[in-house]
Structure 1
Amino acid sequence: MAGSSSKFHQIDETLTLIPTLPNDLSALILSFIPFTFHGRLKSTCKSWRNFYSSKTPLSIRHAHLPLSSLSHLLCLFPEDPSLSSPYLFDPTHLAWAPLPPMPINPHVYSLSNFASLAIGPELYVLGGSLFDTRSFPMDRPVASAAVFRYDLAVGVWVQLAPMITPRGSHAAVAVEEGRGRIVVAGGGSRHAMFGAAGTRVDVAEVYDVEKDEWTSLADLPGSRAGCVGFCVGSGRELWVMGGYGEARTINGVLPVDEHYKDVVVLELENGGGGGGGGVEQGRWREIGDMWGNEERARLGKVVVIDDEGEKNLPKVFMLDGNDIFRYNMASNRWFKESTVPRKAQDGSQFGFVALQGELHVISLLQGVELSAIRRSRHRRRGTVLFMQIYDPRNKSWRSLVTRTPFQFPLDFRTAVMCTIRV
């Protein structure tokens, strides 16, 4: 233990963490408590408050636990994160932990369609569409270029360098966690309150975490928003699929989205950066359409399970209605994987996220007929979520129920979700 004591240099040696135990051993014990309980433990005593307010607990966890043993948490943004707290959910311990709202800009409100992702213990919120009281007319949504980062180790939001091009409803991907790069592609100014209104862009950019700067990449082949992205081959390629282009008017009445069916790939030289060379601009190539004209109109909700095994090929899944499809990269086609066991009775939307190698299909309790959990104690306060969990390795389903700490119901059409490992 003495050999590793240098990793715990942030511990105040004048304070005792656990009586009768050395501080380095006490730090190990306290750090291995699941992250979602750290906030509650701060009130135990002064030494614990100082300890859990430092970077030490997460540093110890990442130094001593393999990636698979770290807590894989769901980060849920129910509403505008500058007005309402985002929340972390630990599915293993059924524990919720609130995060503070983002710094408020008094001139903007109703942020939606932003992207969120994590690199290590840091959570990023990128862009989105909102209303700006400094613009005219004030009821017209505009795209945001703002980027915020929340460091779970110290519990602080900071505003970073803005994107070159403002955008919401865009693809956003961490190129590779160890290299500190984020790529964004497509997007526009469409807001959740409106139909097919808003702009579309074809711009792609890359963010260097260490330098806090954005660099332009090659433009997408066509302006599109609502697209999905993921990396292949340790960040050597960025795949972007689906989305919608400029809206067209049918019979002069309502604008209707023109949906993309294709997949395009951006080649990132030098394996997506690293070695001090950064991410250099590559070129886009077209893979082709994912389905025919009669198969489906649009892309459903897509999540990705990273595969650290052979070829580093991610597993890509789509929730379309009540069915889950798996994407085959070789054939550029979707194949049905499974069906959600219990469907939402009122046709409401599902949330869809990948956690710990499993697919979580999330709905409100009142939208699911399940007599075993329809009890009054689940309805006293807060929103109750019903999670149906699919394991693609053994093709099995299980479920869990959790009551949220917030009072208002969730709208899965506008809520933003991502995951983070701590």
Structure 2
Amino acid sequence: MFKISDKLAKQKGEQTSEEFPKQEAEQIKKELSNQEGEQISKELPNHEGDQISMDLTNQDSVSTSNSFDAIDDNKRPLEDGEHPATRKAAKPLEFHEKEETVKGMHDLSLTQIEEENKPNQSDSSSLIFELRRDMSVKCLAHCSRSDYGAIAAVNKTFRSLIRSGELYRVRRRMGIVEHWVYFSCNPMEWEAFDPFRHRWMRLPQMPPNECFTFSDKESLAVGTDLLVFGKEITSHIVYKYGFLANTWSVGINMNAPRCLFGSASLGEIAIVAGGCDSTGRILSSAELYNSETSTWESIPNMHKPRKMCSGAFIDSKFYVIGGIGIENPSMLTCAEVYDLEENTWTVIPNMFPPRNGEVEVATFAVGGAPPLIAVVKNELYAADYVRHEVSKYDKERNEWITLGRLPERADSINGWGIAFKGCGDMLVVIGGPTNSGGGMVEINAWVTGEGPPEWNLLATKPSSSFVYNCAVMGC
């Protein structure tokens, strides 16, 4: 037989438990105890004791249900067979089921409005009833990111936990990471795709800025933030999308603002290197960004200035690959690697291109996109948009091995218009056929392993344009 206090805590939280008259609760417990005590069970045959226990359970359930009806007389009556907790949970769960929207998944701004209109709820410092707070947080860390909007709707304590970022720091320590793909097919609109639940989510519209809209942009996901870099009339600007609050804001500019740089992230830090300043001067400088503090820190310069390059983290070291230097307009074949512990750069000769010199490297620089590279399980992959092939880098031998073909419908214009990214243990290619009447965005994935790529079509979506920018956020 359950306890009244337990039942109340599960259905209505501590607030309702406090509002329920103590004398009535004690009276019900006393009456049930008198009817159900061990002495009665011992005096009756087993089958009769079982029957009475069942009858008392039914009585207890009815009594508790009626008590809740009395407490909630300002709400609609429960329908036949409906549980009070089900009614309370129905609203946030409806958001969770809607496609093409972020609400109910991580639209915490909506949650905030709803919570402010509710009466003060218990602080529930333990979060989950009868569990210590640290154990409650560890349990919640195993929930999907898609569920955190609904979790935040429980009460202010849960919302505070989600928005503080504490849960994501715990997940990081526990090695729990979910990767979502963020991409833009329109200059000021972004969408996210959850490759594990196959869900599309639309982010809020970026702040209106006509100059920024038509400028070249770079994007970078770090920690729980998405950074989008672009230009205003005479200066650079950064917009930051915060996953925790589901809002856009103006971010912090680099110490030396730039565009056309190489970049990559590792947990809550990211590094950008090279690129050009507002005068078009090609840079060799590099900076490290910390998403926890929203600060930029200058690190030593690379050996060679370069723009139109790509970046990647491999074995916790930052690589800058390809790009165009000052000496000539051809694509640089050397790469550089930055050791965070030693705080030094090292040149790696002849690391790029992945064709191993079969075609003149100058062809890469004529209107072509920066190298399409991605890292999965600390292995580096590259997409050759001319040959429509995928290659893998052999770190020991400093050479590239052709693995197989890209997805058939991953169209591009000299490498522009598609994205080639690492997403957890998968390589993903985002792109698709386009024409004057519109086209499709396709997301293809391959779980890397031995043998040629076997692409799996995860999702398709109509689009009037190709992919402008793309980033993968893991948290």
Partners of 1:294 and 1:353 in 2: CA distance: 25
Shift in Å at residue 103 of structure 1? 3.7
The answer on 1:239 being equivalent to 2:311 is no
Structure number with bigger Rg? 2
Match of 1:287 among 324, 332, 348: 348
Encode CA deviations 1:106-127: one digit per residue, 9 max, x unaligned: 76442423131221xx123153
Shift in Å at residue 324 of structure 1? 0.3
Counterpart in 1 of 2:420? 352
Counterpart in 2 of 1:300? 371
1:8-407 maps to which residues of 2 (within 5 A)?
Answer: 14=15, 24=128, 34-36=144-146, 47=153, 54-56=160-162, 59-60=166-167, 63=170, 70-80=177-187, 84-105=188-209, 108-119=212-223, 122-125=224-227, 127-128=229-230, 130-132=231-233, 135=234, 144=236, 146-174=237-265, 176-177=266-267, 180-188=268-276, 198-234=280-316, 237-246=317-326, 257-269=329-341, 282-290=343-351, 293-297=357-361, 298=364, 300-305=371-376, 307=377, 314-321=378-385, 322-340=388-406, 342-344=408-410, 349-364=417-432, 384-395=440-451, 396-400=453-457, 402-404=459-461
Output the amino acid matched with 1:316. Answer: L
Q: Contact 2:444–2:459 at 8 Å: present in 1 too?
A: no
Structure 2: give runs of 5+ residues left out of the alignment.
1-12, 17-83, 90-123, 365-369
Encode CA deviations 1:26-53: one digit per residue, 9 max, x unaligned: 99999876444666x69xxx94596886
Structure 1: give runs of 5+ residues left out of the alignment.
1-11, 136-141, 191-196, 249-256, 271-281, 308-313, 368-378
Encode CA deviations 1:321-361: one digit per residue, 9 max, x unaligned: 21001112222221112212525579785331222311122
**TM-score for the superposition, normalised by structure 1:** 0.66
Output the amino acid matched with 1:355. Answer: C
Counterpart in 1 of 2:102? none
Against the structure 1 CA distance between its residues 224 and 65, is the aligned structure 2 distance closer, same or farther, given a 3 Å change threshold?
closer
Partners of 1:198 and 1:265 in 2: CA distance: 24
Shift in Å at residue 75 of structure 1? 0.9
Percent identity between matched residues is 18
Partners of 1:116 and 1:110 in 2: CA distance: 18
Partners of 1:266 and 1:63 in 2: CA distance: 28
Partners of 1:164 and 1:96 in 2: CA distance: 35
Secondary structure of residue in 1 paired with 2:128: helix
Partners of 1:346 and 1:239 in 2: CA distance: 25
Counterpart in 2 of 1:274? none
Partners of 2:212 and 2:171 in 1: CA distance: 42
Partners of 2:195 and 2:170 in 1: CA distance: 23
Q: Contact 1:170–1:185 at 8 Å: present in 2 too?
A: yes
Shift in Å at residue 260 of structure 1? 0.7
Counterpart in 1 of 2:117? none
Output the amino acid matched with 1:319. Answer: A
Partners of 2:176 and 2:154 in 1: CA distance: 23
Q: Contact 2:264–2:311 at 8 Å: present in 1 too?
A: yes
Against the structure 1 CA distance between its residues 51 and 324, is the aligned structure 2 distance closer, same or farther, given a 3 Å change threshold?
farther
Output the amino acid matched with 1:163. Answer: M
Shift in Å at residue 93 of structure 1? 2.1
Output the amino acid matched with 1:356. Answer: G
Counterpart in 2 of 1:310? none
Shift in Å at residue 304 of structure 1? 1.2
- Stretch deviating more after TM superposition (180-189 or 61-70): 61-70
Output the amino acid matched with 2:243. Answer: L
Encode CA deviations 1:121-172: one digit per residue, 9 max, x unaligned: x1231533x351xx4xxxxxx6x2x344332122233434310111112122
Against the structure 1 CA distance between its residues 13 and 223, is the aligned structure 2 distance closer, same or farther, given a 3 Å change threshold?
farther
Output the amino acid matched with 1:73. Answer: W
Partners of 1:352 and 1:259 in 2: CA distance: 19
Partners of 2:326 and 2:222 in 1: CA distance: 30
**TM-score for the superposition, normalised by structure 2:** 0.59
Against the structure 1 CA distance between its residues 185 and 17, is the aligned structure 2 distance closer, same or farther, given a 3 Å change threshold?
farther
Q: Contact 1:54–1:154 at 8 Å: present in 2 too?
A: no
Output the amino acid matched with 2:384. Answer: D
Output the amino acid matched with 2:345. Answer: W
Output the amino acid matched with 1:303. Answer: A
Partners of 1:345 and 1:205 in 2: CA distance: 33
Partners of 2:411 and 2:301 in 1: CA distance: 42
Q: Count residues with an aligned counterpart.
A: 338
Partners of 2:389 and 2:299 in 1: CA distance: 35
- Stretch deviating more after TM superposition (59-68 or 95-104): 59-68
Output the amino acid matched with 2:227. Answer: V
- Stretch deviating more after TM superposition (156-165 or 59-68): 59-68
Partners of 1:203 and 1:346 in 2: CA distance: 30
Against the structure 1 CA distance between its residues 340 and 97, is the aligned structure 2 distance closer, same or farther, given a 3 Å change threshold?
same
Partners of 1:350 and 1:318 in 2: CA distance: 13
Against the structure 1 CA distance between its residues 91 and 238, is the aligned structure 2 distance closer, same or farther, given a 3 Å change threshold?
closer
Partners of 2:334 and 2:243 in 1: CA distance: 37
Q: Contact 1:53–1:154 at 8 Å: present in 2 too?
A: no
User: Looking at both structures, which has the greater relative contact order when contacts are Cα pairs under 8 Å and sequence separation is at least 6?
Assistant: 1
Considering fraction of residues, name the structure with more helix. 2
The answer on 1:410 being equivalent to 2:410 is no
